[in-house]
């Protein structure tokens, strides 16, 4: 494999944990926007700020998850016979089947290098 950024040994095998961050943020957004009524907030301005913060948080989580996937792919490729593809990043951009793609990636990763 070509020259790539390397992580410290203690974090090398834990990058897969970041893959759930965008889904967690979507859950928080659904809770704050759909389930809670806008009248539950002290003011309409507070509601707008919550929506903005969660939206920015989602995009930060998405970037973090993509970086995590990149480093996890490097780790898996160096530690096993399987070389995952960056096509697995579709788990973040394919609504509906993204969860299935993510679970497939984690299942295969578990078979080759384990999760913990």
- On the question of pLDDT at 12 being above 90, the answer is no
For residue range 29-39, what is the model confidence (pLDDT) as tens digits?
A: 888 878 777 77
Rounded Cα gap, residues 11 and 13, in angstroms = 6
Residue 106: how many other CB atoms lie within 10 Å: 17
If you write DSSP's letter for every residue of 63-91 in order, what string do you get? Answer: HHHHHHHHHHHHHHHHHSS----GGGGGG
Tally DSSP H helices, then E strands, for the chain: 3, 0
Phi and psi, residue 80, nearest 5°: -150, 180
* pTM to 2 decimal places: 0.80
Residue 105 binned pLDDT confidence (cut-offs 50, 70, 90): very high
Domain coordinates of the chain in residue numbers?
16-111
């Amino acid at each position: 494999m070509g020259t790539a950024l390397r992580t410290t040994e203690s974090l090398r095998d834990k990058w897969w944990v970041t893959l759930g961050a965008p889904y967690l943020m979507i859950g928080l957004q659904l809770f704050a926007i759909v389930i809670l009524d806008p009248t539950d907030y002290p003011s309409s301005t507070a509601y707008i700020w919550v929506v903005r913060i969660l939206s920015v948080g989602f995009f930060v989580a998405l970037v973090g998850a993509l970086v995590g996937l990149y480093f996890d792919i490097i780790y898996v490729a160096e530690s096993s016979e399987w070389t995952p593809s960056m096509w697995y990043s579709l788990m973040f951009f394919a609504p509906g089947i993204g969860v299935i793609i993510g679970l497939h990636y984690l299942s295969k990763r578990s078979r080759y290098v384990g999760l913990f």
